[in-house]
Structure 1
Amino acid sequence: MRFASVTDRLAGLGADKWVLHQESRRRVGSGEDIIELTIGEPDTPAPQALIDAAIAGLHARRTRYTGGRGESVVVEAIAAKYAARTGRAVTAGNVAYMPGTQTALYAAMRVLAEAGDEVLVGDPLYATYEGVIRSSGADVAYVPLDPANGFHMRAADIEARITPRSRALLLNSPHNPTGATLSAAEIAEIVEVCRRHDLWIVSDEVYETMAYGAAFASPFDLPAGAERTVVVSSISKSHMLPGFRSGWCVGPVEFIDRLLPVSETMLFGAQPFIQDAAAKAIGAAFPECTEMVEVLARRAAIFPEALANAPGLRCAMPEGGMFAMVDVSGTGLDGEAFAWRLLDEERVAVMPGSSFGRQASGHVRVSLTAEAPMLREAASRMIRLAIRLSQGKAA
């Protein structure tokens, strides 16, 4: 039997990257006591007002079909958010509501790239980026992010990898998995490179509110970047509602006009009662969200401090997001081997860096979505393993 070539392009780019997480979940389900620090799922509860808004929408029978662009209440809330942020006119024509950032990324790539094209992306990169690029038929052009530079993307490194096939740059700041947060000056330099080479910028800003080591900056906010930038984001992280699958694309009117038929062919609308809650989330401030970011900023220091003198381990301070990257190469193991031994011997689950690209192969990614005492305990167990490795001892 024959299958579409997209299935070959995506082979190994889906759940295969999360094998260790799935194994950890299986062991927890079997009764093992494991500290799970694998996925970026906020551990603090969402604002009750947003849960109530979704429930009220259900009680009001807000369960009918909706338009492909989204309900006016949420589209207008999104437009108002970006108009206030940029200081320029952003209207409903610049907005398309999407069920989550992942869907927004997929649809954006289908609009901007195709077979024969290349999309530039930093390495390390979020685990699904290769898939959303390859799903369009385009090839991935990796821009190495140097740990010595705090994994910050450099404009010169982008320019060095641009070819006649380059069509877009997929940008993420604050960055998953490294926590790197690009400055306004760095963003401006990247925009200038993309302008000179007529590249689109797809800016994944799901961690916008979680920039605690440096101020958040976006290419969409710059006049030179506005005409070529597509923002994708959601309330999954900012409002602790990953299961709502509630996100959006914001960009030039022509881009949105071309996006809508792609989006509507995929799923034609999203749940109106969730859109009601999203509109409320976007249009107001919630102390629970502010507190979550403050908690993450405090947790971010735990691993850099705890591992400072550990043999073979290094951890830089994250500047945003909800992860820390630990360099384990000094133990003699790569991130994959270290992560599996940490799970088997110390009952701590973290993500192998190889799930996030070649540049991260000597690292593991640690999620900060657990209370501080649990994170400190995980760091202690990590150190125990590192000591055994340094002494050449088996488990």
Structure 2
Amino acid sequence: MGKFSEAVERVEPSATLRISDLAGELEGKGADVVDLSVGEPDFTTPEHIREEAKASLDRGETGYTPSAGIPDLREAIAHKLREENDLRVERDEVVVTPGGKQALFEVIFSLVRDGDEVVLLDPAWVSYEAMVKMAGGELNRVTLDPQTGFTPGEVDLAEHVSDDTRLMVVNTPSNPTGGVFSEDELEEIRDLAVDHDFRVISDEIYEKITYGAEHLSLAAMDGMSERTVTVNGFSKSYAMTGWRLGYFVGSQDVREQASKVHSHSVSCATSFAQRGAVAAIDGPQEPVEKMVDAFESRRDTLVDALADAGVEIPKPEGAFYAFVPVDAEDDAALCEEVLQEEYVATTPGSAFGVPGYMRVSYATSEERIKEGVERFAPYL
């Protein structure tokens, strides 16, 4: 029997999915697991979105669509990016993908060559590392400022990039920290990208989930429209994780190369799901606002519960995660122990490149948040 590909052997299975699988096994045995590891809203997709997808099915729209997405959705996304993000984008510059993760994979696989240096700003979502390694890139990991909630803060990014840098991945609002980069911090990244002539992937999947902080799109800044690939999707803001819909916009050369990967792998996103996505953008936004209000209340509940347990953290300004310090040499072993002994699922910080922490998701009820913190507080 032959060996497996080097690309696959470079990566490890997802740590977040490992925790999820363990939690599922315990629940299957009857355990009352408080799941604070989940990376998805606990809300149902808004009704008007579901109704439009049903109507699409009833119209028999069950075949292939154009590879880059149906024209109505691409136009709706382009209009949204112009109006909300100040990007100069037309319909033909949008590529719709089966999930934001697929968009990231297509772009990274297209941009990164063997040995290319890719900068990750840690803590960084687990799949960035895997995608870069599969593409053959070399990681340059930069730990951000914990005092500012893991934004660039006082970290001198100029010390960590050079003319050898090929790509930087920026995620704001951030998974796993909930940090939101300020305008000054994004301008610093812009200046470095221009000075050293590297591209930036701006992952903005949590853009609508912020609490008083302003989300800014890197591609809207002077000098960044051609060197930024903006990635977004519908999973988080519209509670559409299972619909698997994302998209990216970038320069023509990036789109042309990434579209090769797209057409030879996934062909297109699901037809009737795309119709639902049009309704998500063009329809009422009140459901999104209600979800964000609920997340903000849950965030406050979590931060207060942690403070009562003696742990102070910067209040997350976006997404639905907190990055909580733990007193343990092996945070992965600690998280597994907390799950096995206390039936609370969290994710180790080492999975995101920064050991000594656990990621706690507050995409669950305030009652379960309080109970979960009460159970794992002794381990902090």
TM-score (norm 2): 0.95
SS state at 2:124 partner: coil
SS state at 1:233 partner: strand
- Separation in 2, partners of 1:286, 1:148: 34
Aligned partner of 2:375 in structure 1 is 381
Question: Deviation string for 1:32-84 (max 9, x for gaps)?
Answer: 11111111111111101111111111111111111211110111111111111
Change (3 A) 1:270 1:262: same
User: Does structure 2 retain, via aligned residues, the 8 Å contact 1:316–1:326?
Assistant: no
User: Does structure 2 retain, via aligned residues, the 8 Å contact 1:168–1:202?
Assistant: yes
User: Where in structure 2 are the equivalents of 1:115-194 lying within 5 Å?
Assistant: 115-153=114-152, 157-194=156-193
Aligned partner of 1:391 in structure 2 is none
Between 207-216 and 341-350, the greater mean CA deviation after superposition: 341-350
- Separation in 2, partners of 1:375, 1:345: 17
User: Where in structure 2 are the equivalents of 1:1-395 lying within 5 Å?
Assistant: 1-10=2-11, 12=12, 14-87=13-86, 89-153=88-152, 157-311=156-310, 313-329=311-327, 332=328, 334-357=330-353, 359=354, 361-386=355-380
User: Does structure 1 retain, via aligned residues, the 8 Å contact 2:207–2:215?
Assistant: yes
What amino acid sits opposite 1:251 in the alignment?
Answer: G
User: Does structure 1 retain, via aligned residues, the 8 Å contact 2:97–2:103?
Assistant: yes
Change (3 A) 1:273 1:300: same
Aligned length: 379
Q: How many Å apart are 1:385 and its aligned residue?
A: 4.3
Q: Please, which runs of 5 or more residues in structure 1 have no aligned partner?
A: 387-395
Segments of 4+ moved more than 4 angstroms:
none
- Separation in 2, partners of 1:261, 1:95: 14
Question: Deviation string for 1:285-312 (max 9, x for gaps)?
Answer: 332211001111111122221222435x
What amino acid sits opposite 1:365 in the alignment?
Answer: R
Between 126-135 and 155-164, the greater mean CA deviation after superposition: 155-164
User: Does structure 2 retain, via aligned residues, the 8 Å contact 1:86–1:221?
Assistant: yes
What amino acid sits opposite 1:341 in the alignment?
Answer: E
- Separation in 1, partners of 2:217, 2:332: 33
- Separation in 1, partners of 2:15, 2:359: 16
Q: How many Å apart are 1:188 and its aligned residue?
A: 1.4
User: Does structure 2 retain, via aligned residues, the 8 Å contact 1:154–1:190?
Assistant: no
User: Does structure 2 retain, via aligned residues, the 8 Å contact 1:155–1:190?
Assistant: no
User: Does structure 2 retain, via aligned residues, the 8 Å contact 1:93–1:256?
Assistant: no
Change (3 A) 1:215 1:356: same
SS state at 1:210 partner: coil
Question: Deviation string for 1:218-256 (max 9, x for gaps)?
Answer: 101213211211111110000001000001001223322
User: Does structure 2 retain, via aligned residues, the 8 Å contact 1:116–1:165?
Assistant: no
Identity of aligned residues (%): 31
- Separation in 2, partners of 1:381, 1:3: 42
TM-score (norm 1): 0.91
Q: How many Å apart are 1:119 and its aligned residue?
A: 0.8
SS state at 1:230 partner: strand
SS state at 1:366 partner: strand
SS state at 1:300 partner: helix
Change (3 A) 1:166 1:204: same
